[in-house]
Amino acid sequence: MSYSSRLDWCVLAGILLAVAAVLLGANYWIAGPVLFILLLCAYPQSYETGERALAVRDAVSRRQIPYATITSAALEGSRMRIRYGLASELTIAPDKPAALLADVERHAPHLVRRGDELVLRDRHVEYSLRRSRSVFAG
């Protein structure tokens, strides 16, 4: 299933300021590269959940994140944080973050839902046991 990214108004405001600076006579050797970088950031990302991996596409790259390597995925407001591999993390802003999280949950059986977060099944069991022991101890 395909998802598009949410529009980031801060980046658009930066683009408008850079264009205004160029039009008002600022040094185009400074404002030009800044404008180029902001335009690359404003290029919409797309996210696609495939059979074996989550594909994240933007202006200059395409990442394939295999579901087996995802260690956690969490909603943070209108954004979604995905941790994968040994020490990699990606924060994305899909237009429907809850639907994307549910789709990742369907494809990753090693993850279990805990509120607005998907965590490793073993970590969830360990957390639940630790919590139940503290309840019975106190």
Any idea where the domains of the chain sit in the sequence?
Answer: 2-137
The 3-state secondary structure of 70-133, one letter per residue: EEEEEEECCEEEEEECCCEEEEECECCHHHHHHHHHHHCCCEEEECCEEEEHHHHHHHHHHHHH
82-132 pLDDT, tens digit each: 999 888 999 998 999 999 999 999 999 999 999 899 998 876 555 554 555
60 vs 65: CA distance, rounded Å: 17
More confident residue, 123 or 41: 41
Question: So what's the pLDDT on residue 65?
Answer: 94
More confident residue, 30 or 105: 105
Residue type, 110: H
Which CATH architecture describes the domain 2-137? Answer: Roll (2.30)
Number of residues that this document lists for the chain: 138
